[in-house]
């Protein structure tokens, strides 16, 4: 998700409720992905939970765009891409761990949302801000690497499954991951750059 610096007094009920619920929900997804990577939780179960969350959150934003001011269209597109890429590990359990590898980015999203819930300048707010910036490497280094990783494991010649995977399956995963990385560049990155001061 991208930064949405909306003053608290201007935040709609849907916005406030969406953020409040997403702190534990997104945090839970991040924790589950970590547990999955450590082999402490079934990755296919995580995939089912993850895709269910994405579906429900997409419906919420479509019905109430004010839940994500300024970026509702982008978040819906992001969720559609996430849903599409999650269909692969959902259909092919041997790749369920990939949900955790890609979904670990929710750690960054968690700190972004949690930061907004805390008083600006407070110790916890600063801690979340620090962790948000530290985990940006997941978006800008790890996720681009996964494009290469997914190319190998979902290829028609992949050894993960007898006969490999269909071109359509491979194409869906690749295009979705590439566009998710493009999302990070077009939506997330601009919010990190210094804002130009308006001339008097």
Q: Annotate 61-79 with three-state secondary structure.
A: HHHCHHHCCCCHHHHHHHH
In this structure, is residue 197 part of a structural domain?
Answer: no
In this structure, is residue 2 part of a structural domain?
Answer: no
- Residue 85 CA, chain-centre distance (Å), reads 12
pLDDT score of 3: 46
**What are 95-114's pLDDT values in tens digits?**
999 999 999 999 999 999 99
Range of the domain at 126: 12-188
Place of tokens 């910036």: 133
pLDDT score of 192: 81
In this structure, is residue 199 part of a structural domain?
Answer: no
In this structure, is residue 99 part of a structural domain?
Answer: yes
In this structure, is residue 82 part of a structural domain?
Answer: yes
What are the residue ranges in the chain where pLDDT is below 50? 1-4, 200
Can you tell me whether residue 21 is helix, strand or coil? helix
pLDDT score of 9: 56
Report the distance separating Cα 129 and Cα 123, nearest Å: 10
In this structure, is residue 200 part of a structural domain?
Answer: no
In this structure, is residue 178 part of a structural domain?
Answer: yes
Report the distance separating Cα 49 and Cα 80, nearest Å: 16
The HSE-up count of residue 50 (CA atoms within 13 Å, CB side) is 35
* Tokens matching residue 61: 């934003």
In this structure, is residue 193 part of a structural domain?
Answer: no
- Domain count across the chain: 1
């Amino acid at each position: 998700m991208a930064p949405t610096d909306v003053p608290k007094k201007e935040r709609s009920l849907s916005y406030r409720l969406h953020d409040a619920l997403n702190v534990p929900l997104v945090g839970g997804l991040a924790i589950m992905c970590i547990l999955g990577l450590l082999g402490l939780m079934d990755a296919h179960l995580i995939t089912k939970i993850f895709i269910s969350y994405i579906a429900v959150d997409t419906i919420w934003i479509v019905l109430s765009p004010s839940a994500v001011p300024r970026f509702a269209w982008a978040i819906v597109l992001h969720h559609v891409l996430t849903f599409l890429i999650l269909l692969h590990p959902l259909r092919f359990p041997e790749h369920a761990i990939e949900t955790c590898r890609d979904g670990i980015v929710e750690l960054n999203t968690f700190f972004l949302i949690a930061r907004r819930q805390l008083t600006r300048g407070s110790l916890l707010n600063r801690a979340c801000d620090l962790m948000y910036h530290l985990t940006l490497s997941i978006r800008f280094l790890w996720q681009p690497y996964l494009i290469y990783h997914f190319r190998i494991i979902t290829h028609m010649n992949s050894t993960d499954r007898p006969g490999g995977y269909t071109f359509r399956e491979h194409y869906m995963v690749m295009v979705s991951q590439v566009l998710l990385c493009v999302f990070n560049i077009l939506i997330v990155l601009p919010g990190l750059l210094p804002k130009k001061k308006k001339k008097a």
